[in-house]
Structure 1
């Protein structure tokens, strides 16, 4: 939500709407989100349903990777799996340049990014996963990278604190100046 608030604060035309399509499932490795899996299919189905009556998909926020940092094999396969996920989502949502928002009068509503937020805590292979996330942002068009390293973790040792979420929202909104998002998030 802090990211949505940052986007709203930047100003959008009064009749435009920002919609969020949350699809998170905690403690899941990227392999659980590959095309044909229950999580992937549910994400695509929910996104299509949300867009059925209005709107256009303007972006995708992906905040995941800690579970992949636990096992060397998952960390080593992270880049190829993430690249495949982005390509599959673009194909299955018929958005080859996801996201490319058309028909809006303001530059603000021209999004062109899949936003990957780095894993911020985790296992032995965390640095490898973070490097893979950075590599995906360099290897695929319209993919941006936001660093969550160092943000404060809540007392549950899993989620970010409220203040850290606000900071992350601000970081993410700075990566996408002049752009807005309708999110599929993990």
Structure 2
């Protein structure tokens, strides 16, 4: 919501912003690879959003903590993720216990795709569980995503 509110506050000519949530906590990037159940559910929701004339202008992707625990997951992150990202948030939490945090963060930052923007959330305030972002940090991530989105004109994905 912070993303949509920030975009509209800065550019009301955009009109209506629809958000299509597809998040599933605790999943690895492999569980989102093309053809997987999660990927197919995400596509199904996106197609439903397009039925009444909607446009997909960005994908806001916040994922990666689960991939910092296992070396195989961390090493496969780069290849899996580059297949469908448009906008991104780089991994926020170093406190989940994943010893491969730096490897996943490097993979996230090294991906170079047209129209991809990485928003670094490392160091933002976490909830007491030391994994999830605090409400204030979530709002800040939304504002940073809005800034990146508004920096250039994005043609619709579909």
Fold match by TM threshold 0.5? yes
- Cα distance change on mapping 1:142 and 1:178 into 2, 3 Å: closer
CA RMSD of aligned residues (A): 1.7
Structure 2 stretches lacking a partner, 5+ long: none
Q: Distance in 2 between matches of 1:58 and 1:80?
A: 23
2:127 matched residue in structure 1:
154
2:45 matched residue in structure 1:
46
Q: How far apart are 1:140 and its partner, in Å?
A: 1.4
Q: Distance in 2 between matches of 1:177 and 1:142?
A: 12
- Cα distance change on mapping 1:3 and 1:179 into 2, 3 Å: farther
Question: Contact 2:3–2:142 (CA<8 Å) still a contact in 1?
Answer: yes
Q: How far apart are 1:178 and its partner, in Å?
A: 4.3
Question: Contact 2:7–2:150 (CA<8 Å) still a contact in 1?
Answer: no
* 4+ residue segments displaced more than 4 Å: 178-181
Matched ranges for 1:1-186 at <5 A: 1-13=1-13, 16-86=15-85, 114-121=86-93, 122=96, 123-136=98-111, 139-178=112-151
C-alpha offsets along residues 52-104 of structure 1, whole Å, 9 cap, x if unaligned? 11221101000000000111111111111111244xxxxxxxxxxxxxxxxxx
Q: How far apart are 1:179 and its partner, in Å?
A: 5.2
Q: Tell me, what secondary structure is at the counterpart of 1:84?
A: coil
Bigger share in strand: 1
